[in-house]
Structure 1
């Protein structure tokens, strides 16, 4: 068996499979609004890595290098732990799954951190289409981890890969502390995310009088505009944030009641048009800004 010759003969085909597979995963995560830390990374195992793995007998190749489950791989790094299970469900629904993914739980004296490893391939009916007809038997390893898990995995791999048995116990304990700290980071980030979502839910559902006690931000701004326009205001989240930021920056309006007081019952709603309503709001704000500037000059 000539490993180098086989590697050279399949590399292009596996690169094509990796590229197509990665695109599908990216589209599915985007569709389900899964927040990732950075772009999904993909890689093909190098020939040197394959030769080393085989010679060290960590994996013995019997007939072909395609026996390696991690010959090609993807890595998905998530911002929050809650999405790990969701991502697994999405991928196992979309693709054929060859394993039952579990979160690895390593003992405190081992160098590692929990992550999920899936072994996936394309579904049988995909093989009937031109883009996938050559990829029916290929498998790909997909790692799913949080950003904190990624920091741990990459750091420990760089420092101690294949040298764990030579690390002093005191250093091992320090690494265990760091692993625990990173786990706390994950937990705290999830807690903060949950708290933020609860806050925005409160802003969306609270009585209007309660909104007027809040600082001005994109969510309280939306409530004020909706209330005073009687539902005419219908901007998307992106434009809403831009307008909210503009009002804070250009007009120095920092609390909800101040904005409400300026525009309450000041605008004719007969046009029933969101853009016209917004123009009239800014006309009022411009007049108020001019008035304040004139007062400052007099002083």
Structure 2
């Protein structure tokens, strides 16, 4: 019986904090080289205790199997500008030696019936504790901003309807998902123009910053 949830979740919080720093560091490396970063921004969280307990009941997860069977207690989300960026990020994660990929689920190629799109990666990540190394599971979701907007709305509605959406609302959500993906495709068609414009803007901002510093001297 887990009595001290704060103690139980501490390694997960440490993993989320470390992974956010590392993933955000990848973005900064692209920016340092004046390259387009496939990572727009990174968020992370540890699943709240009430949500863990609810999922344990819904998925029939035994408490002594919690660490092995619940993969998203530690969750990271990587947001991208373009669909192509998602697969670039996935390739970058595959090359890392500080985590082990255990499972990949491509809900972009294999869209869920609801219209949900995202790329899920389950990793095993080593956390260094004062008692030694502890390897925990974490889930990384990689998606575009449009996919994230739809998923956030759908998630909010799910609290109200508990997954049993009225038929008309379900149809509307599916149409909205297709509209969001159409937007992603349109942005992909002009991504080279967008990336070039962003690079020029970044260089100009950097030059202006240097000039401002010179004026202060």
Q: Tell me the TM-score normalized by structure 2.
A: 0.77
In 1, the alpha carbon distance for the partners of 2:180 and 2:151 equals: 11
Q: Check 1:171–1:10 CA distance in 2 against 1; reply closer, same or farther (3 A cut).
A: closer
In 1, the alpha carbon distance for the partners of 2:135 and 2:45 equals: 18
1:22–1:74 CA contact under 8 A, matched in 2:
yes
Counterpart of 2:107 in structure 1 is 103
Number of residue-to-residue matches in the alignment = 201
**Residue aligned with 1:77, SS:** strand
Matched, 1:45 2:47: yes
* Structure 2 counterpart of 1:84, from 86, 91, 96: 86
Structure 2 gaps, min length 5: 32-36
Q: Check 1:167–1:10 CA distance in 2 against 1; reply closer, same or farther (3 A cut).
A: closer
Aligned alpha-carbon RMSD (Å)? 3.2
Counterpart of 2:161 in structure 1 is 163
Matched, 1:140 2:138: yes
In 2, the alpha carbon distance for the partners of 1:197 and 1:26 equals: 19
Q: Which stretch shifts more, 91-100 or 191-200? A: 191-200
Counterpart of 2:66 in structure 1 is 65
Q: Check 1:131–1:10 CA distance in 2 against 1; reply closer, same or farther (3 A cut).
A: closer
In 1, the alpha carbon distance for the partners of 2:205 and 2:193 equals: 24
Counterpart of 1:28 in structure 2 is 26
Structure 1 gaps, min length 5: 201-217, 220-235, 244-274, 276-299
Q: Once the 2 structures are TM-superposed, how far is the Cα of residue 84 of structure 1 from its aligned partner?
A: 0.5
Task: Give the number of the structure whose residues are more often strand, by fraction.
Answer: 2
Counterpart of 1:237 in structure 2 is 203
Q: Once the 2 structures are TM-superposed, how far is the Cα of residue 135 of structure 1 from its aligned partner?
A: 4.3
Q: Tell me the TM-score normalized by structure 1.
A: 0.58
Q: Once the 2 structures are TM-superposed, how far is the Cα of residue 198 of structure 1 from its aligned partner?
A: 7.4
Describe the superposition over 1:169-227 as per-residue Cα deviations: whole angstroms up to 9, x where unpaired: 22222222111111111111122222445799xxxxxxxxxxxxxxxxx69xxxxxxxx
Higher relative contact order (CA 8 A, sep 6+): 2
* Structure 2 counterpart of 1:186, from 184, 187, 194: 184
In 1, the alpha carbon distance for the partners of 2:163 and 2:15 equals: 37
Q: Check 1:6–1:164 CA distance in 2 against 1; reply closer, same or farther (3 A cut).
A: closer
**Residue aligned with 1:111, SS:** coil
1:29–1:87 CA contact under 8 A, matched in 2:
no
Q: Check 1:161–1:106 CA distance in 2 against 1; reply closer, same or farther (3 A cut).
A: farther
**Residue aligned with 1:137, SS:** strand
Q: Which stretch shifts more, 93-102 or 178-187? A: 93-102
Larger Rg: 1
